[in-house]
Amino acid sequence: MSAVAEQPGGAFRPRPVSPAVSPSVDPKTRADAGRFPVERVAVAFRHFLESLGLDLADPNLVGTDRRVARAFEEMLSGLRAAEPELSTFPNSKADSGLVCVAEIPFYSICAHHFLPFFGQAHVGYVPGTRLLGLSKFARVVDFFARRPQIQEDLTEQVADLLDRRLAPAGLIVAMEGRHLCMEMRGISRLGVSTKTMAVRGTMENESLQRQFFSRLGESRR
Ligand code: ZN
């Protein structure tokens, strides 16, 4: 995680102005990246276990190398997936208000420590001429979460794709995540939530942002 996320809790923060440090490959070049290298990852993880001096004949460790590789194949499936299909439909109402999709669960892997971080994403948008089916927001979040990530980039990537494909008048993506690299090590603070936010278009407006967060609050009562 970056320095800004070392001060977790409190309000959702926009990303500081800095170049993206995402390790992700460009989505356009990813589709032909081929299958997940299960065997290579299993061999590498076996070396890791050996370097710890563990007895790999222990019944609980037999096959662990391959199980770990298979688990990462699933957890990092976004590295090889094609960008999700997002069929939109026309917005018949000319003056649509804010649409909120709250509490989308996500699970990701911290690129800095390769430990899980997980939580909820919330999306709000003021429609332009197109609307998007509600289930598609979860697809977009999942697509970017399932790769080595930092939460700030994940938030921006979800916002960028929705902005590009949906062309809303305004868009906000807020994410809150618990990072095991902060809970199991480092500052060791249990249950702390890191909050990140990305805004586009009319959602830069603070009163619209307040409306969004108050709607989120209502959905939790
Ligand atoms: Zn980390």
Q: How long is the chain?
A: 221
Identify whether residues 45 and 99 lie together within a single domain.
Answer: no
Q: Ligand 1 center to residue 84 CA distance, Å?
A: 27
How many domains does the chain fold into? 2
Q: Are 42 and 65 in contact (CB under 8 A)?
A: yes
> Does 27 map to a domain?
no
At 22, the pLDDT band (50, 70, 90 cuts) reads very low
> Does 66 map to a domain?
yes
Identify whether residues 203 and 155 lie together within a single domain.
Answer: yes
Question: Position of tokens 């089916």?
Answer: 133
Q: Ligand 1 center to residue 121 CA distance, Å?
A: 18
Q: Ligand 1 center to residue 124 CA distance, Å?
A: 27
The reported pLDDT for the residue numbered 28 is 44
Three-class SS of residue 4? helix
Q: What is the CATH number of the domain that holds 120?
A: 3.30.1130.10
- Tell me the backbone φ, ψ of residue 76, rounded to 5 degrees: -110, 25
Q: Ligand 1 center to residue 107 CA distance, Å?
A: 13
Q: Ligand 1 center to residue 6 CA distance, Å?
A: 10
Q: Are 1 and 182 in contact (CB under 8 A)?
A: yes
The reported pLDDT for the residue numbered 15 is 54
Identify whether residues 101 and 209 lie together within a single domain.
Answer: yes
Q: Ligand 1 center to residue 1 CA distance, Å?
A: 5
The reported pLDDT for the residue numbered 10 is 62
Pairwise CA distance, residues 155 & 199, whole Å: 10
Pairwise CA distance, residues 167 & 127, whole Å: 8
> Does 32 map to a domain?
no
Residues spanned by the domain of 197: 3-21+87-219
The reported pLDDT for the residue numbered 33 is 58
Question: Does the model's pTM come out above 0.95?
Answer: no
Give per-residue pLDDT as tens, 85-105. Answer: 998 989 987 667 899 999 999
The pairing of beta strand 116-126 with beta strand 13-14: unpaired
Identify whether residues 173 and 105 lie together within a single domain.
Answer: yes
pLDDT of residue 12 exceeding 80, the answer is no
Cα–Cα distances in angstroms (integers) from residue 173 to residues 102, 105, 156, 178, 188, in the given order: 10, 13, 8, 17, 27
Q: Ligand 1 center to residue 182 CA distance, Å?
A: 7
Identify whether residues 133 and 204 lie together within a single domain.
Answer: yes
Q: Ligand 1 center to residue 180 CA distance, Å?
A: 7
